[in-house]
Chain A
């Protein structure tokens, strides 16, 4: 940052100074005077191509390192869900506590925000932390962002992607607290609507997911035990990592990716569940991650099994 600023200030000052100096020094002396021809020198031209190029590459490298670090979320994070909608932010703490336009976080923890939008594109921006990320509606874009607060205090957050009439009012405060205060706040705020895992489990029953997704793998749909984070073989031979985006897509548009060995039977839940419900279901499915997956082949693999087997052998 200081490097870029100083390089830019140097070049801006040098050019400005040169222009002003030449402007007065070589001011036309007589009305018919012409300038002295200075022949261009390829060495000079190459020099002022190469030197700025080297400086630019130094800036690029620094920026790249920062960016790669930002986009790579560390593993020990406190996970908080953020849903943007015209024109408010709904935020859910790990224990299920919900807040609106306020985000309480403890000092010294890596905070990971999972961002979902109910309607248009928003952007969660905390200027004091130098972080922002677009919040994009749709099946393929579960953006996440992370930061690590180092100092307690209240910091503005804004929506920085224009989202309609009250875009400017779609902001709030990040409240960074000492870990003990945070813990007290979290438990003392009362009225928590149950944590997202429980809410997800309830939904899982309500929406009758459990009738097909049997835990032991004998249902018409694959078991979800140990699913999250694993490699899922798809009909046709490809595989996909079961991350949040995959789970979201599989809920909303189940036929987009069919697990190898199963039939496309599941109804689409597009428009049937809210973003918050999807987050709860995802949290529930994540909680099944530690359970052992049923042994391979125990599923009813009626039709597709025979087709996919050779495909995997080829690889």
Chain B
């Protein structure tokens, strides 16, 4: 059954959540209430949407090789970028880290047997799938050409594409997010193991706590807003259409009230992943634990008060613009605090070059650029010029792909041995991380320049002077695509043929590494008791490290 010789030290446990001896057949997957199996259901389904969105992105980049558009008609191009956005944002990025890694890890990290509401957890996956089916129906019956932002009156009156099923799908999918957020909050509040105090919580859990707040408070607003746009389209109710007395700007306020915080739904969990990876592979406690934890909450709270920075050129009141610009600068500070603390954690560490660390450091580099270019957009005077240009495209791809997707892929590499019990080829994984980093920068950095030169977004054709940078970007995208295909291949390969990992291969300090890999269905054979501080390697003889003999005399080096 296994080509590789069995590891002399490690064997897969006899009984674990994946093993057929538990429960057999598809039924045991589709009716499971085990958070780990539900996480894998999500893993499969978000990967499908990532693939769909990725195919659209590839076609977009090929089309933009020539100024007049190389591949498709204007109608098709408009559908491609719209469906790319909808698939990636609502059905990949928002659920990716929370519903896959968060679902799998939060109960184990806090020493619980499952989430607080296991059946609701399964329900949220089914809701996601139903929402996804509506959206796929829209994609396959006429497509969608409104832009993922669905601005009326274009979306409610003028578009001839399948808008209604798409907004219904996103509306339904919203409940999946809300239920997941609710589940996480209740779980973290009530199900922590003895000794797992709030300030011993892994930062991953803090990040997900903050994310869950945004999911619960923000998602209902966008769900209702899109439903109103759908009702306007179906029954000609005048909510947003000015010719029926509605206000198109009202839609933008409501839409961004969720959709800006949604950016934090995507990035906060990734920050949580990075906050786990950095101390593990630097083998020292994270620098500024409480500041990183507090900054997650600060981002979630201030993130709700910046939405109208998407609307600086709609003619909104100058005073409103000033306030939203000020708050947008303010929300940059907690992100900066995190970056500084991660970097400081590396200082005097014992840094390994294992693949998750390469992904995490790549994340910091890309997120830093993404965050700093956010300052350009928050700056009122500059935003007039770069608003709705490729500068914006580059900025948010640095945050969402360079940040959130790097974090997600890095997190998969970090916890893969826990999820599957097996290791992937490290050299190949390191290579893939570097390919991703290089490909990403080559794809999106030219777009900052394109945007500054004035190329508007969502253009199926462009003046010839923009061609060189577009070709560069497309070249980068082909490298980037390779960078995503590689992990898909070797991770899949490793599920069957990878070396058996053992319970704690890196080793790391979290509770999830105190149980078998893969864990048993009930997560722990006995309820764990936590008597150590987070990310402490020096008082953990169980990790088998030279804990008593650090490289140099240890003194508080402030």
In the complex, per-residue mask of B467-480: 1 if CB is within 8 Å of any chain A CB, else 0: 00000000000000
B388 and A123 form a contact (CB under 8 A)? yes
B114 is an interface residue with CB less than 8 A from chain A: no
Nearest chain A CB to B101's CB is how many angstroms away?
23
- Name B315's contact: one of A52, A68, A143 (CB within 8 Å): A143
Binds B, one of A38-46, A191-199, A257-265, A304-312: A38-46
Given contacts A38-B344, A52-B336, A167-B78, contact A60 B546 (CB under 8 A): no
Given contacts A19-B364, A57-B329, A63-B382, contact A4 B350 (CB under 8 A): no
Given contacts A8-B375, A37-B538, contact A127 B385 (CB under 8 A): yes
Which residues of chain A in 113-162 are interfacial with respect to chain B, using CB atoms and an 8 Å cutoff? 119-121, 123, 125, 127-128, 130-134, 136-141, 143, 156, 158-162
Given contacts A34-B537, A131-B384, contact A23 B247 (CB under 8 A): no
Q: Which residues on B sit within 8 Å (CB–CB) of A119? A: 153, 158
- Name A162's contact: one of B75, B147, B248 (CB within 8 Å): B147
Binds A, one of B37-45, B218-226, B280-288, B481-489: B280-288
Which residues of chain A in 4-23 are interfacial with respect to chain B, using CB atoms and an 8 Å cutoff? 4, 8, 11-12, 15-16, 18-19, 22-23
Given contacts A63-B381, A270-B243, contact A35 B457 (CB under 8 A): no
- Name B347's contact: one of A22, A32, A62 (CB within 8 Å): A22
Q: What interface size band does chain B fall in?
A: 35 or more
A35 and B151 form a contact (CB under 8 A)? no
B276 is an interface residue with CB less than 8 A from chain A: no
A156 and B454 form a contact (CB under 8 A)? yes
Nearest chain A CB to B502's CB is how many angstroms away?
15
Q: Which residues on B sit within 8 Å (CB–CB) of A35? A: 282-284, 348-351, 537, 550
Binds A, one of B49-57, B92-100, B317-325, B407-415: B317-325
Q: Which residues on B sit within 8 Å (CB–CB) of A71? A: 318, 321
CA distance A44 to B343 in the complex (A): 13
Q: Which residues on B sit within 8 Å (CB–CB) of A314? A: none
Given contacts A23-B351, A35-B550, A137-B242, contact A49 B333 (CB under 8 A): yes
B551 and A163 form a contact (CB under 8 A)? no
Nearest chain A CB to B552's CB is how many angstroms away?
6
Which residues of chain B in 51-71 are interfacial with respect to chain A, using CB atoms and an 8 Å cutoff? none
CA distance A156 to B348 in the complex (A): 54
A120 and B351 form a contact (CB under 8 A)? no
- Name B388's contact: one of A32, A131, A161 (CB within 8 Å): A161
- Name B312's contact: one of A67, A141, A165 (CB within 8 Å): A67
CA distance A52 to B331 in the complex (A): 11
B248 and A121 form a contact (CB under 8 A)? yes
B557 and A38 form a contact (CB under 8 A)? yes
Which residues of chain A in 154-201 are interfacial with respect to chain B, using CB atoms and an 8 Å cutoff? 156, 158-169
Binds A, one of B263-271, B366-374, B418-426: B366-374
Chain B's closest residue to A166 (CB) is B74
A125 and B158 form a contact (CB under 8 A)? no
A53 and B333 form a contact (CB under 8 A)? yes
CA distance A225 to B333 in the complex (A): 54
B361 is an interface residue with CB less than 8 A from chain A: yes
In the complex, per-residue mask of B233-275: 1 if CB is within 8 Å of any chain A CB, else 0: 0000000001101111100000000000000000000000000
A208 is an interface residue with CB less than 8 A from chain B: no
Given contacts A56-B332, A136-B249, contact A28 B352 (CB under 8 A): yes
CA distance A86 to B159 in the complex (A): 12
A267 is an interface residue with CB less than 8 A from chain B: no
Chain A's closest residue to B331 (CB) is A56
B558 is an interface residue with CB less than 8 A from chain A: yes
15 contacts between A and B (CB under 8 A): A33-B551, A34-B546, A35-B283, A36-B284, A37-B285, A39-B558, A56-B329, A125-B456, A130-B384, A131-B385, A136-B242, A141-B249, A163-B154, A168-B461, A271-B243
Residues of chain A touching chain B, judged by Cβ–Cβ distance below 8 Å, are: 1, 4, 8, 11-12, 15-16, 18-19, 22-23, 26-30, 32-41, 44-45, 48-49, 52-53, 56-57, 59-60, 62-68, 70-72, 86, 119-121, 123, 125, 127-128, 130-134, 136-141, 143, 156, 158-169, 253, 270-271
